[in-house]
Amino acid sequence: LFNYTIMQRPDNPAENASHMGYVVRLQNVWVWDQVKECFRFRHPNHDAVIDNSRHVSLEFAAPSEPGPMDALLHGFAGYFDAVLYKDVVISIHPETHSPDMFSWFPMYFPLQQPLLVHPGERVVVDFWRVVDSTRVWYEWAVSEPVAQAIHNSRGKTYSIGLFS
């Protein structure tokens, strides 16, 4: 999948397909830290001012045992779980995945430049859910161990239109 994203626009790497998320069935992946909560939403939202924009900074630690080795980080996986009604829950979270649910998959957020991560090293990534009057989009950027540019800044490559 990483190779697919970089090959879509070899003539213009700044606008290549690594600036959008992909809903995919993840295969051949190494999950080397626990899944972290990113965003939480409540529906209906009774706040006086409704703002579904979000920002979070997440920290991941590369394993140092067993057998320390470098890893090449190509991106991040996003999962969800939802309470539909009372105790009716659907989930694609690896630890709480709904049995026999094969129609929803994780979101893959690629990195334009893979990141070499050393054993025990810390990786910090920021995710934003941005909303304006007509659309919503996600942005993401690694800030540690090496800062990278924001992916999909201002929703330039990918956004979802909102109904008014």
pLDDT at 13 over 80: no
Measure the CA–CA gap between 21 and 138, rounded to whole angstroms. 8
The pLDDT, as a whole number, for residue 137 is 96
The pLDDT, as a whole number, for residue 83 is 87
pLDDT at 131 over 90: yes
For residue 128, the one-letter residue type is W
Q: What pTM, to 2 d.p., does this model score?
A: 0.86
For residue 141, the one-letter residue type is A
Average pLDDT, integer, range 11-30: 77
Mean pLDDT rounded to a whole number for the chain: 86
CA distances from 139 to 86, 105, 132 (A): 32, 19, 14
